[in-house]
Structure 1
Amino acid sequence: MKNPNKPSVETVLKTIVTLAVVGVAGTLLALQIKISTEKEIKRAFDDIRLTSEITRNLQFHEALEIARRLAPTVIPYPQGEIILRSKDGGVIKLGINRYAVMNKVVEENRILLVWGIIALLVSLELAIILAYMITYPIRRLSWAMEAIAKGDHQIKVPIKGAFVCELENLIRAFNNMAIQLQQWRRLQSQISRMDRLASMGEMVSGVAHEIRNPLAAMRIHLELLMEMRDSLPAEAQENLEFLSGEIDRITDTVERFLLFARPHRGRIENLPIGQVISWATQMIRSLAPSGVIHLETRVQNPDQLVEADPGKLRQVLLNLISNGIDAMPNGGKLVIWTKIEGDRLAIGVDDTGEPIPLDMVDRIFEPFVTTKPNGTGLGLAIVKKLVEEMGGYISLSTGDGVTSFKISLNTAPKGTSSVYEEAH
């Protein structure tokens, strides 16, 4: 925050440069006036000497008139130090008319004074421009620091516009510091998330195991009752079917908890992406209502090999496809696409269903965050975990009525064969 009691750097620079310019211009002008004044005084004495030669042979009144004409910068003065004598013995005391001398100096140096004032104004304007060019990058650094202090770690100060190399080096050092601070904040967030997930995983794993044992006993007793269902009333049979479905749902939830909680290395293989997308297409056709979901695939290179765990990659795609279909109960468009990005392969699943609320976009991959009324909030958390276990990452983007999940995985080195070729 700016301190009103202290001047800014720009004000100090303007003051220093202005004083320097005024001082130099004033000194040069004073020196020129001094030289011109001395020159005029010398000229006045020369005029007096010439007048003295002429008036020596004239009468007093004639000598006085000649003195006034020949020496305009000299006036009769009783205490004058210059004495002229006429032919008839008259004495004329003269003194230098300094007012006339100064007027003559000013008149002779009028053009110089005008150009001096113009040069002074131009110099002041240049001082303002110079101060602005030096201080503007500093002000930008100050604004950027305030933005970082408020939590905006994406800020970057452009190097263009730095007037001197020191300012350019300062801006470059600041940008490097901002990048390192951003990386540190991201690493800190990841460490915090990992700690939170580890603690949550331990708790979830314990709770899931505690639920799993009585749930298994309930399943056994339910199966015994199901064997006797024919002897039960129709209403009891319906209740048993409902109870069986609910136990299956609880079992699925517990399995999701355990899958989220326990680490699983799996196996990384070289998979042709075309076969993976073909499998995903078949899953869409089996899951989506006929004629309601319009499917589109855009595979850049079907033979491109990607390093992934077959089971994990299928589970990830199945979860994203199911979410996309659930988001379009009234129909829509589902697009699966791939794109090679350097040494990585991007796999995308886009849908035109209900968009994810903006306040949930940044938290959608966190555990227990869900947009479904009856969802557990573990589906996308498990997806993120599985993708990271394969050495990849997943991101979400929304806009123009499209929700897009993008998975990025490593491509297999050139010359390697797929797992299917090795099997044959």
Structure 2
Amino acid sequence: MFSIRTKLILFMSMLIIIVGTLSCLFFLIHSKWQQEEVLQRFGTSLVTLLAQDNEVKYAIRSSQPAFLYMPIKRVRELDREDEISYLRISNNHAVMVEEKSPQINTITEEIPTIGKNQQCPETSLGNSITTTSGEVFCDFSVPVLEIQTFSEEEFAAQMLGEGNVIRKKAQPILGFVQIGLSHHKLEERIHKIIWQSIIPLGIFIVIGGIFTTFFLTRYLVSPLRRMASITLDIARGDFNRTVEIHSNDEIGQLSTNFNQMAQSLRGLCDEKEKIMAQLRENVQRLSLANTELEEAQERLVRTEKLAAIGKLASGIGHELRNPLGVMRNALFILKKRIKDTDALTDNQNLTQLTYILEKETERSVKIVNDLLAFSRTTKPTVSLTNIRSLLESSLSRLEIPEKIKKVMQFEDPLPLLYVDATQIEQVFINLVQNACDAMPTGGQLTIHAEKENDFLNVTFTDTGCGIPDTIKDKIFEPLFTTKPNGLGLGLAVSSSIIQRHGGCIDLKSKDGEGSTFTVKLPVAIT
């Protein structure tokens, strides 16, 4: 039987040898490929730079080699490590410039020349060339092309989508640029990488592996760390973890005892979880019962408040209704007599005062009517009614400001409804007045009526300030209002009236973008 120390030494030694060998081999291959890629990019950049240089094109076109001095100089300045072995620029007839590095032994005649006699004088980048002297070069050759121009007919054909009619003309070739890079510099860099990086890396891996192996075999870190990790998981409550070390030594015996201890702890934990689950269930039931009790208490308080408000509203409404009616009649007679007098200045002041009194009296009458309507639950007295006429009558009783644009949209024809005209007119007046109050600086009020299935939908849409989401569920509650002088009964009374007619009121609103109230009333069955 092998001991743990022997097993670990053998395993780690083989692992270190394999990892070190593969790492060095991979690094060597990657470095070689990377250097070749750099050489390819460098050569492509140089030859492309020369081929696209306007001075080179001018020199080839005019057959003036003197103009090639500056472009070649710029390319030489980019070659900081003297990697360019030869450089050749030629036109379609002859070689204009040919240079060779003094470090190579190959004569330039051994290097193939791209010229007019070739069958396919196209771009050739990175082809390997071996000379008779054994030197290897990476050849980069590209043609120097004239800039293509387009005639007006070709341009018009392209714009009209008839590009297939006129074939693309081939760009004329002015000449060729050929640059060769020696593999000698590439091999030098690869040898440098081998001696400075790969060999030290292999030595470091071997030495580090030896020290690591002896350290692990001495202290048995791996099994103990595994057991420590599992112990932490068990301490966090994960009793399903076990130590899977199957051996006949002390570590195997220790793992067996550890697993038995974990199993005992798991049984105790399961029992504790059952007790905690029962406690949580009891707490949840108590919380649900408490919530239901709070809701019932809130409903009871609300019912008592509404009952008290109803009694108060009924009493106040009966007491104020008659005095307000007398005041309204007196104001009517006063306005009529003011019109019959001749004092213009005094009449203007009196007319303004009577207008104020009339407006406030009407507001007081509306409050009293809302209170009475809220306190009463009488059944509507229905009759066959034309909703369009009812809407027009409601609008005639209101003074809509001039800065608010009114838009009426009715489906033709609208069905008749069995409704209490007085109560429904009160609902329409409340909704129109609320829409006008929501647009103090002006806007648009759109009233739309159409039949949808067995209901007639009447929508009131304004472009006002909108209703925030936080209060959408409260606006139909009694005594809830956002107006400084409001009583908070208009929408509550309106909702109650529509519900007694077998319909409903829906609200769609977004804060800052206006609101839409939709009144749905059942269509009369004839």
TMscore range, shorter length: 0.3 to 0.5
Give the structure-2-normalised TM-score: 0.40
